[in-house]
Amino acid sequence: MKELSKAYEAKKYEDAIYKRWEQSGFFDPDVCIKKRVSKKTAKPFSIVLPPPNVTGTLHMGHAVMLAVQDVMIRYHRMKGEITLWLPGTDHAAIATQTKVEKMIFDAEHKTRQDMGREAFLRRVEQFARESHDTIVNQCKKMGASLDWSREAFTLDDARTLAVRTMFKQMYDDGIIYRGDRIVNWDPVMQSNVSDDEIEWKEETTAFYYLKYGPFVIGTARPETKFGDKYIVMHPDDQRYKKYQHGQKLEADWLNGKITATIVKDKAADMAFGTGVMTITPWHDATDFDIALRHKLDREQIIDYNGKLLPIAGEFAGLDIVEARPKIIEKLKTRGLLETIDEKYVHRVATNYRGGGVIEPQIRKQWFIGVTREFQRGGKKVTLKKLMQAAVKNGDIEIIPDRFNKTYFHWIDNLRDWCISRQIWYGHRVPVWYRGNEVFCGVQSPKGAGWEQDPDTLDTWFSSGLWTFSTLGWPKKTKDLVAYHPTSVLETGYDILFFWVARMILMTTYALGKVPFQTVYLHGLVRDEQGRKMSKSLGNIIDPLDMISQFGTDATRLSLIVGNTPGNDMKLSEAKVAGFRNFTNKLWNVARFMLLNVKKPKVIIQRPQGKTLADKWILVRLTATIQEVTTRLEAYNFSLAGETLRRFTWDELADWYLEIAKVEGNKDRILNYILNTILKLWHPFMPFVTEAIWQEVYRGKTVLLGARWPEANTLTSAKKITQEFALMQSIVIGLRAIRSDYRIDPANKIPVLMNTRKQKKLLQTLSPVIRDLARTGEMTVATSVKRPVASVAFVVQTGVEVFVDLLGVVDKEKERMRLQKEIDTLAPYVASLEKKLSNEQFVTNAPSSVVDEQRRKLNETREKLSKIIAQQKSLS
């Protein structure tokens, strides 16, 4: 057969291979069923792709997601399960609109208001289509075996029907309501934003202590205090026990005398400042809750443009940043400023889409009431209880399970969800008004005079339906019946609350079942120093750049091996390059094996090994199949990859193939091993394995559709492993002697092996040992004395190996060389020991420096000990 080239060239194969996969039909479970799956016996395995935003290109976080999910999908497809991986993209309302608005303004100096709603939305939709095409191409470059025939978009017609149906059902159940509550308002964007769109930025600012009647209160925002007329203190605070809840008192304040009311509430922090605070219910979520509990007045101080209202007197109309120093000056003049802490550190809420500072506001908005009761199965339930029960009852497993605690903490503190946004791009609220009439429906109302609510829905509302809207809901489609609940949701831990929890909310409400059985959370991809990747640091690694340089398989492996669930991982170009080297290693392993296989067969039964090496490699391959399968089933993808790499490089390439060169005649067994390892590696490295498969089997089948290898236990595995380990120990020991004594490779040193019970085995293995260790004459004897001019080592109990150094090593010269090394290393060990015994150094030096010194000491001690032993052996 045709010989493989000496190096694997990813660019030569990848695009053509992906087209071959698409043409094969195996991405589509319906086609797959017809080709090789029994629908009656096979179970389904399904994942819906977390939809990337149509705002640009994929980043390393997306690449991790695609790599991990594709490993799962390819493995379960090869197992013979009915496997669906459903793709799609997210319209990402605020993110997309903000990006397009900026692009238009930068290019044309026009705002969306200048353009009008319809014209602006046409521009956004054009951008979204172009971005979608880029994302699809990048998913294909990553090798993602998605069923493109079922692709969805959160803003397409089918998802619009699902969104409107869900909204109406919740509205009719009284779960969705319109009310006046506090929201995250961005004065720059002129819209509410969700909690997940808040970026908290730490800043150092001034903190002001102000006189308020007999009390001192603290604030970082004096501009909100004009309407403060409630003094809140903890009911258990003994410092203020003489004050009664509801008590009135007079106080001088910013605009003159004010009548204040005492409010006793546990929200007051007795340890913060003086333990007393005034509240601004309109502009602070905690204050709003206090006002709600005690039915207090709420008055707006700052308008929706971030400017002060008439209640601020002479400061009305000023921007709050401009007004603050003037307000402080007035407080000084009125004798109300006690002191200022200039180094107060706190967190400021900003909209990460544009950086506008959030100003909490009370607005009439649409909300989902998470504690509102509704009927389910004859019982009264709440969304909050459904979300808690889904994980608590074990219907959903979160990996790693430490995130259970995080999930419950978030659900326990969950507020009603504000779902309306004042932007144009997205699902418009399906509610219409005509005078005092209100109509909520899937279709617009009949008759004239109706006006649709101008707001759009939070993008998480539509993506919260993702696992079942993509399968055809609200219709009861065959896909919905077959694949829901989905098997796994794989996503980043950073959106556990914002998306995962909301999908659980939506699905348990709409379908009465969970959206997925398992949640697998991956961590963030950081640079090699552990820093977050950002443009400002210049440390962003683009997955497409890595694919172009090193190939897709190397890029995927770098994102899987060393990546454990829930933990951030470090990535560097060097790591990707290292896996490119391994990709070439696999290619060259295949190249050697094919040179020794006459007629490769696609289907081949496991052969019977003839030699010990044959039997050993079959034992190790069987164990590897078992271990990789077990780890994949347990979602330990990194360990599965490491297990495969260890077998391929350390056991197959370094040992068995070297022995095969000596023993020869390995046609059938090499065919079987190659066939099997290509299948095992395929979920991790789909392109190079498919490329080898096509070269070997000449397009008869696609590896994508091959069956996962079975691991039938071999007899005498323990005995085979022990005997091969004996041979390995002898070879390793002989190689070490050659290295330690710097014996020229051409010098075939004679070896004597002394054994009581293993003579026959060692005689059989002698040719292999002699070739691997490059020795000369090899004698196996029983109960012999050690030759005078030899070094010896014990391999196992009852086996000794003697290497005759007569005429090979000048003992005196070698002893002198070793003594020089001892004289150099011994003082260095002493100096390190002295440094590490110094408590001041150990206490004050950075831990990384101390650890490095300890590492050097351990390594040098080991090296010194070995050299001393060598010197003694020459005596």
Q: What are the tens digits of pLDDT across the range 835-868?
A: 999 988 888 888 888 888 998 999 889 888 878 8
pLDDT digits (tens, 9 = 90+) for 497-522: 889 999 999 999 999 999 999 999 99
Task: Please choose, from the candidates 392, 505, 394, the residue with its C-alpha nearest in 3D space to the C-alpha of residue 166.
Answer: 505
What residue ranges in 737-836 does DSSP mark as E strands? 751-755, 778-781, 790-796, 799-804
pLDDT of residue 790: 67
* Ramachandran angles phi, psi of 185, nearest 5°: -105, 130
Helix H or strand E encompassing 84: strand 82-86
* Ramachandran angles phi, psi of 352, nearest 5°: -70, -10
**What is the pLDDT of the chain when averaged over all its residues?**
91
Q: Are 707 and 625 in contact (CB under 8 A)?
A: no
Q: Which two tokens stand for residue 718?
A: 């323990």
| Peptide linkage before 474 cis (omega within 30 of 0) | yes
pLDDT digits (tens, 9 = 90+) for 631-688: 999 999 999 999 999 999 999 999 999 999 999 889 999 999 999 999 999 999 999 9
pLDDT of residue 482: 94
Cα separation, 89 vs 152, in Å, equals 7
Q: Which two tokens stand for residue 49?
A: 């792709």
pLDDT digits (tens, 9 = 90+) for 590-618: 999 988 888 888 877 888 889 999 999 99
DSSP 218: E
pLDDT digits (tens, 9 = 90+) for 272-293: 889 999 999 999 989 999 999 9
pLDDT of residue 793: 67
For residues 63-77, average pLDDT: 97
| Peptide linkage before 686 cis (omega within 30 of 0) | no
Q: Which two tokens stand for residue 199?
A: 């970026």
pLDDT digits (tens, 9 = 90+) for 121-171: 999 999 999 999 999 999 999 999 999 999 999 999 999 999 999 999 999
Q: Are 749 and 743 in contact (CB under 8 A)?
A: yes
pLDDT of residue 582: 95
pLDDT band for position 298 (cuts 50, 70, 90): very high
Three-state secondary structure of 458-504: CHHHHHCCHHHHCCCCCCCCHHHHHHCCEEEEEEEHHHHHHHHHHHH
pLDDT digits (tens, 9 = 90+) for 401-411: 999 999 999 99
Position 158: which residue type? A
* Ramachandran angles phi, psi of 225, nearest 5°: -90, 0
pLDDT digits (tens, 9 = 90+) for 346-400: 889 898 776 789 999 999 999 999 999 998 888 899 999 999 999 999 999 999 9
pLDDT reading at 434 higher than 80 = yes
pLDDT reading at 422 higher than 70 = yes
pLDDT band for position 875 (cuts 50, 70, 90): low
Q: Are 493 and 469 in contact (CB under 8 A)?
A: no
Q: Which two tokens stand for residue 152?
A: 């969805």
Cα separation, 730 vs 750, in Å, equals 14
pLDDT of residue 557: 96
pLDDT reading at 811 higher than 80 = no
pLDDT of residue 715: 77
DSSP string, 515-553: SEEEEEEE--EE-TTSPBP-TTTT----HHHHHHHH-HH
pLDDT band for position 535 (cuts 50, 70, 90): low
As a 3-state breakdown, the chain gives helix, strand, coil percent values, each rounded to 5, of: 50, 20, 35
Q: Are 580 and 607 in contact (CB under 8 A)?
A: no
pLDDT of residue 5: 87
Taking the model in full, what pTM does it have? 0.86
pLDDT band for position 457 (cuts 50, 70, 90): very high
SS3 label, residue 407: helix
DSSP string, 28-55: SHHHHHHHH--TTTPPEEEEEPPPPBTT
pLDDT of residue 671: 93
pLDDT reading at 810 higher than 80 = no
Cα separation, 631 vs 639, in Å, equals 7
For residues 310-335, average pLDDT: 93
Task: Please choose, from the candidates 357, 364, 274, the residue with its C-alpha nearest in 3D space to the C-alpha of residue 319.
Answer: 357
The CA-based angle 444-445-450, given to 5 degrees, is 95
Cα separation, 516 vs 485, in Å, equals 5
Q: Which residues contact 678 (CB under 8 A, 6 or more apart)?
A: 590, 689, 692, 693, 703
Chain position carrying tokens 């090994």: 609
First to last CA, the chain: 57
Q: Are 703 and 689 in contact (CB under 8 A)?
A: yes
Q: Are 724 and 613 in contact (CB under 8 A)?
A: yes
pLDDT of residue 79: 94
pLDDT reading at 792 higher than 70 = no
Q: Are 51 and 90 in contact (CB under 8 A)?
A: yes
pLDDT reading at 544 higher than 70 = yes
pLDDT of residue 19: 96
pLDDT band for position 789 (cuts 50, 70, 90): low
pLDDT of residue 346: 87
Q: Are 581 and 677 in contact (CB under 8 A)?
A: no
pLDDT of residue 281: 92
Of 200 and 365, more confident = 365
pLDDT reading at 816 higher than 90 = no
Task: Please choose, from the candidates 585, 650, 586, 663, the residue with its C-alpha nearest in 3D space to the C-alpha of residue 620.
Answer: 650
SS3 label, residue 176: strand
pLDDT digits (tens, 9 = 90+) for 4-48: 888 999 999 999 999 999 999 999 999 887 776 555 668 999 999
pLDDT reading at 415 higher than 90 = no
- Write b or e for each residue in 139-149: b if 16 or more Cβ atoms lie within 10 A of its Cβ, otherwise e: bbbbbbbbbee
pLDDT band for position 115 (cuts 50, 70, 90): very high
Cα separation, 377 vs 388, in Å, equals 18
Of 640 and 796, more confident = 640
pLDDT of residue 604: 76
SS3 label, residue 568: coil
pLDDT digits (tens, 9 = 90+) for 182-193: 999 999 888 988
